[in-house]
Amino acid sequence: MPDTVAVIGAAGYGGAVAASILSRHPSLELVAVTARSDAGRRHDELYPRYRVPLILEQFEADDIAERATCAVVAYPHGAAAPAVKALRECGLKVVDLSADFRLERDRYERWYQAHAAPELLGDAVYGLTEAHRDEIREAELVAAPGCYPTAALLALWPLRAHLSDVVVDAKSGVSGAGRDATPATHFVSVTENVQAYKVDGHRHAAELEQELNGATFTFVPHLVPVEQGLLATCYVTTELAEADVTDLYREAYEDEPFIDLVDEPPGTDDVRETNRCRIHVQTVGERVIALAAIDNLWKGAAGQAVQDLNLMLGLPETEGLA
Amino acid sequence: MPDTVAVIGAAGYGGAVAASILSRHPSLELVAVTARSDAGRRHDELYPRYRVPLILEQFEADDIAERATCAVVAYPHGAAAPAVKALRECGLKVVDLSADFRLERDRYERWYQAHAAPELLGDAVYGLTEAHRDEIREAELVAAPGCYPTAALLALWPLRAHLSDVVVDAKSGVSGAGRDATPATHFVSVTENVQAYKVDGHRHAAELEQELNGATFTFVPHLVPVEQGLLATCYVTTELAEADVTDLYREAYEDEPFIDLVDEPPGTDDVRETNRCRIHVQTVGERVIALAAIDNLWKGAAGQAVQDLNLMLGLPETEGLA
Amino acid sequence: MPDTVAVIGAAGYGGAVAASILSRHPSLELVAVTARSDAGRRHDELYPRYRVPLILEQFEADDIAERATCAVVAYPHGAAAPAVKALRECGLKVVDLSADFRLERDRYERWYQAHAAPELLGDAVYGLTEAHRDEIREAELVAAPGCYPTAALLALWPLRAHLSDVVVDAKSGVSGAGRDATPATHFVSVTENVQAYKVDGHRHAAELEQELNGATFTFVPHLVPVEQGLLATCYVTTELAEADVTDLYREAYEDEPFIDLVDEPPGTDDVRETNRCRIHVQTVGERVIALAAIDNLWKGAAGQAVQDLNLMLGLPETEGLA
Amino acid sequence: MPDTVAVIGAAGYGGAVAASILSRHPSLELVAVTARSDAGRRHDELYPRYRVPLILEQFEADDIAERATCAVVAYPHGAAAPAVKALRECGLKVVDLSADFRLERDRYERWYQAHAAPELLGDAVYGLTEAHRDEIREAELVAAPGCYPTAALLALWPLRAHLSDVVVDAKSGVSGAGRDATPATHFVSVTENVQAYKVDGHRHAAELEQELNGATFTFVPHLVPVEQGLLATCYVTTELAEADVTDLYREAYEDEPFIDLVDEPPGTDDVRETNRCRIHVQTVGERVIALAAIDNLWKGAAGQAVQDLNLMLGLPETEGLA
């Protein structure tokens, strides 16, 4: 009998992709999808091409718990914590896509807000699978990294013992800004435009600093006229020889099922609608330039959530994702 | 009687915009446009919206010299030098859009090829108007900077005495890759894609190093699915206080007719089809982040060429560009 | 002393383009721009590339009348009529971009709503310049046609004595849907999508039926992932010989300053940010296929409004539009 | 032991999608992919996200026949016929994506060229699955319809006994123009543009006329700035009552696995990278408007080819396509 899973917040882009993946997962049964303002509508009316034949429900933890043994929560930051808490109290294993359980409490409250369920922080595991595989296997609450930190951390992870001062210049597609219709997501604002935003990049840098302890990060996110896709261009000052850099990446990633080390700079289109991360590393003068391309909704959100969930449930890590 | 001007290579994107601007210039008369493979066709058949009612001619320097007193040359690197030489020998003032006269000979031959007219290098002035206005006024041969260096140099110029180690992460629209139909410019390759290329960035860095003597540059160009537009995000390590940085930019640019210092990160769409450069500077931790947005075909090529030409001819710098 | 003009509703796309054109008009002085929710902001902060250095005001007809002798009103349908009425009572000549004064009362109230100022309908002239030039010269209130009817009417006008049953399949860029951020204008909804909407097309057909009395129209509008641009493909059943069709178009349009009859199907990009309409006509079997491409914000709205205003003020028709 | 399949011409867009689908097909083994100019390269280097881990070979029919029992041929018109003939002589079942076996000889030679293998025309079945399912089951050579006719025929098929004079206005994404880099496929030509081409539409109309005998078709194809997707808007003059039209569509399609009758106009994005066709029908006045959206590379080419192949091999029709 397969495990049963619910997606909480399946009307947003990340949750919708999670529902799509899970509805085709060979070892999991998607039993419920919830939404706040779209409850009552069919999921496949909102997202025809994902073909999830379920009606979006209002979220009730007890009700979900009667049908599901685990859940992916895809609520906005702040709204996620209470939902996660309710589901955990019902005994469900949870992967949360928000920032609510990614950071230590002080970091979180500095860059986000007061935490609604700090007592759960100790149990939460940071869900970058390639970095925390063993802990994720044992975890009952996993906080999937943000799309920006996912790309940057994967680009930098093999160099983690050699980092001091790092610049991350990241370019994201518009789905990363969410489904809300705002002036910033209007087609006319986005097309023919490239623009940085929140130049301080604190929220993203906070995840990098926590995971890559000791280094400092300058992180600037940019919006580009792309639907799905994220490229992180990382500039690392280091004294490593080029051959050593190459070795570090090969060793770190040669057995990773979702990471491709490639000889040319990766395009986001190379990984669109896949859970893969393509990484290219090149030494130019005194700098290592590490480029990582992901689909922000897949490896940057829903795909990675399923990768984590597979591990938490003792399933093969790649199941449902190939 | 107005000065008369020709555009050599007006079938390419940069030359076409130059022809468009010059055909509406109040103090200049556009008397000839040339092309190599498209000679014989009407310019306004190739570019209807630019409405230049001239037939593209084969280039003959003598013939051009009978009608024009100055020229904008918009040939590819390498092809430009002989054309520029021929026009100069006929006495025309020339603005060249290629790299052929931008760099000292050794730099040029290192990153490009053997130089076809090195004897002219001594006369050529680097045409970044904001940096070399007085020399441009006296020049008879101006080498307009590349679109990438234009944005990066304008972003960094006020800090020129305080630069040591600089990262430039630049994002360009596809018109910067030229009108040749190649796999890289195919719509299907470009849309839904963001990709770095030529990660070493040597050609662009060479212009920066020459102009900003003493600093070192890591320069990575990226292609984004945009027609016209270029954003340079520059990361500068410096010990300047934020207020001093602000002062340097204000002093450098407050009287510049084409530069806007803005409080928010500029979008390339803000400057599309204008000769303007919008610059935003922000200090985050130990780094200054300087962002400059231009239209790669205007301030990054044809617009700047006309700005230079205005100075060379003793005309108001902004004429035909507002 | 130049005439003075105000743009009412200059924060929307159509009004913003009107402000941009009028701020550069050689014989008109733009003295005021108004907005509803954006009042107090600078116009060039909302639309940097249009470079209109005015602060958006709240609309007060009396106040506007002290400074302006004419106005372009760019309010939504229904909101326009009261503003137009107030301005007319102050004596201003008005071009209105909404549907409020385009249709006879019964047609308007059938497809829109109760009319707020029906007493003005008798004075209003339908502002398709090519069709009503003489009346527009004498008018004090002109109702600029919608962008869809503009393209379709220009495509069909030379055949007006020969029309019976016409299909119009029209494709519009997203700026035609206005500046409101809605699910339908979200970048993620628009990109990689082509979709018909309001398949009955009644509002657009109503303008066609009124102008092209006696013919029936099937009109289907489509949204395409383009910022500005509109193509109307018109299918006309007729027994005219091809040569006669050609003659009718040549006679109708050979002296029109903004209409280009072209030998190939026009692209919307050929007319982007111009007031031009490019028309191609071809007979295939028993059908005439007439294609018209315009910029929906220029010839389809603001450009045509200025063309009309020029006539109303006794200025050359093309002034400020070339 | 599964059937073995080869894709001939897998470097083009249609062939690449076929290879991608077939490499994941549960009952077929993809044993070879061929290419002309790209032979020797890895398929997953050309198309990383399709993840087909095969090297592109030069086409040799004998060699393919040793490994494969069936083939999808994705060569251009004219080049396909000899390849199909060679494969058929080796005994392979073939689905051909070109026009070479779609039309009766005289129609083909009128709109294309002299036929290279007319002796095979008698055996070829037109591969619109929904129309010719039973013949396809028995066929050894199937000619998959073009992407334009697929959408138009599916939109019109239920009305086939009631058609006389039909207008089809079709909008296609750029992948339909193929992988060749041409001025027409350059990003700068395509973006911000909508344009009709080959306004006579003869090649597409020829397929419609053959399949929908007795009706006449006006067919105008348009290019829109979309990667994958095709929308056919069909205008049918008929005296059928709306309820009867609804019944005809429901009866025709209620059991079709890949066709969705929908209440709103379909967007191409609803079917992107699926084998589905979404159809909406609406009666407006005297006209039926039938809209069909497909992915031009899936239901319009490779997906339909696999659907046909499944039938030819006695497999479930939807296998590998859900």
Q: B200: Cβ–Cβ under 8 A, 6 or more apart, which residues?
A: A282, A284
Looking at residue B286, its pLDDT comes to 86
Per residue in C280-322, pLDDT tens? 999 998 899 999 999 999 999 999 999 999 999 999 999 999 8
Looking at residue B31, its pLDDT comes to 98
Residue B10, classed as helix, strand or coil, is: coil
* Average pLDDT over all residues of chain B: 97
Q: Which residues of A touch B199 (CB under 8 A)?
A: 265, 280, 282, 284, 289, 291
Residue of A nearest to C13 (CA): A188
Residue of A nearest to B171 (CA): A194
DSSP H or E segment with residue D14? helix D13-23
Per residue in C185-205, pLDDT tens? 999 999 999 999 999 888 999
Q: Do B218 and A282 touch (CB under 8 A)?
A: no
Question: Over 80: is that where the pLDDT of D1 sits?
Answer: no
Looking at residue C201, its pLDDT comes to 82
Question: Over 90: is that where the pLDDT of B322 sits?
Answer: no
Of B174, B181, B191, the CB nearest to D182: B181
Q: How far is D241 from chain C (nearest CA, A)?
A: 16
Q: What share of chain B has pLDDT > 70, as a percent?
A: 100
Looking at residue A43, its pLDDT comes to 98
Tell me the backbone φ, ψ of residue C32, rounded to 5 degrees.
Answer: -155, 145
Q: How far is D265 from chain C (nearest CA, A)?
A: 6
Looking at residue A286, its pLDDT comes to 86
Looking at residue B204, its pLDDT comes to 93
Q: How far is B273 from chain A (nearest CA, A)?
A: 11
Looking at residue D201, its pLDDT comes to 82
Looking at residue C117, its pLDDT comes to 97
Looking at residue A321, its pLDDT comes to 97
Per residue in C218-263, pLDDT tens? 999 999 999 999 999 999 998 899 999 999 999 999 999 999 999 9
Q: A54: Cβ–Cβ under 8 A, 6 or more apart, which residues?
A: A19, A23, A30, A32, A33, A42, A43, A44
B86-90, B285-289, D239-243 — which one is most confidently predicted on average? B86-90
Per residue in B208-234, pLDDT tens? 999 999 899 999 999 999 999 999 999
Per residue in D248-279, pLDDT tens? 999 999 999 999 999 999 999 999 999 999 99
DSSP H or E segment with residue C293? strand C287-294
Q: Do A186 and C183 touch (CB under 8 A)?
A: no
DSSP H or E segment with residue D6? strand D3-8
From first to last of its 322 residues, chain A has per-residue pLDDT tens of 679 999 999 999 999 999 999 999 999 999 999 999 999 999 999 999 999 999 999 999 999 999 999 999 999 999 999 999 999 999 999 999 999 999 999 999 999 999 999 999 999 999 999 999 999 999 999 999 999 999 999 999 999 999 999 999 999 999 999 999 999 999 999 999 999 999 988 899 999 999 999 899 999 999 999 999 999 999 999 889 999 999 999 999 999 999 999 999 999 999 999 999 999 999 998 899 999 999 999 999 999 999 999 999 999 999 999 8
Tokens 């409405």 belong to residue: B51
Q: Do D224 and C220 touch (CB under 8 A)?
A: no
Q: Does A235 touch chain B (CB under 8 A)?
A: yes
Q: Does B263 touch chain A (CB under 8 A)?
A: no
Q: Which residues of A touch C45 (CB under 8 A)?
A: none
Q: Which residues of A touch B222 (CB under 8 A)?
A: 171, 231, 233
Q: Is D246 within 8 Å of D281 (Cβ atoms)?
A: yes
Say how far residue A88 (Cα) sits from the centre of its chain: 20
Q: Give the Cα separation of D34 and D6 in Å (integer).
A: 8
Q: Give the Cα separation of D47 and A274 in Å (integer).
A: 13
Q: What is the mean pLDDT of residues B253-262?
A: 98
At C210, the amino acid letter reads Q
Of C196, C237, C282, the CB nearest to D265: C196
- Residue closest to A251 by CA, chosen among A185, A160, A117: A160
Q: Give the Cα separation of D252 and D249 in Å (integer).
A: 5
Q: Is D50 within 8 Å of D44 (Cβ atoms)?
A: yes
Per residue in B17-28, pLDDT tens? 999 999 999 999
Q: Half-sphere exposure of residue A294, counting CA atoms within 13 Å on the CB side?
A: 31
Looking at residue A34, its pLDDT comes to 98
Looking at residue A2, its pLDDT comes to 79
Cα end-to-end distance, chain B, whole Å: 22
* Average pLDDT over all residues of chain D: 97
Q: Do B273 and C274 touch (CB under 8 A)?
A: no
Residue D152: pLDDT band with limits 50, 70, 90: very high
Residue C101, classed as helix, strand or coil, is: coil
Per-residue 3-state assignment (H helix, E strand, C coil) for chain A: CCEEEEEECCCCHHHHHHHHHHHCCCCEEEEEEECCCCCCCEHHHHCHHHCCCCEEECCCHHHHHHHCCEEEECCCCCCHHHHHHHHHHCCCEEEECCCCCCCCHHHHHHHCCCCCCHHHHHHCEECCHHHHHHHHHHCCEEECCCHHHHHHHHHHHHHHHHCCEEEEEEEECHHHHCCCCCHHHEHHHHCCCCEECCCCCHHHHHHHHHHCCCCEEEEEEEECCCCCCEEEEEEEECCCCHHHHHHHHHHHHCCCCCEEECCCCCEHHHHCCCCCEEEEEEEECCEEEEEEEECCCHHHHHHHHHHHHHHHCCCCCCCCCC
Q: Is C221 within 8 Å of C197 (Cβ atoms)?
A: yes
Per residue in D13-35, pLDDT tens? 999 999 999 999 999 999 999 99
Looking at residue D52, its pLDDT comes to 98
Of C48, C191, C272, the CB nearest to B49: C272
Active site annotation includes D70: no
Residue of C49, C186, C194 best to disrupt the A interface, most CBs of A under 10 A: C186
Question: Over 90: is that where the pLDDT of D128 sits?
Answer: yes
Q: Do A227 and C188 touch (CB under 8 A)?
A: yes
Catalytic residue among D70, D90, D147, D277: D147
Residue of B182, B188, B269, B296 best to disrupt the D interface, most CBs of D under 10 A: B188
Per residue in D75-108, pLDDT tens? 999 999 999 999 999 999 999 999 999 999 999 9
Looking at residue B142, its pLDDT comes to 98
Looking at residue C125, its pLDDT comes to 98
Q: B31: Cβ–Cβ under 8 A, 6 or more apart, which residues?
A: B4, B5, B6, B67, B68
Q: Does D181 touch chain C (CB under 8 A)?
A: no
Sign, CA dihedral B113-B116-B122-B124, equals negative
- Whole-model pTM? 0.97
Looking at residue B5, its pLDDT comes to 98
Tell me the backbone φ, ψ of residue B285, rounded to 5 degrees.
Answer: 60, -125
Q: Give the Cα separation of B270 and A172 in Å (integer).
A: 19
Q: Is D146 within 8 Å of D99 (Cβ atoms)?
A: yes
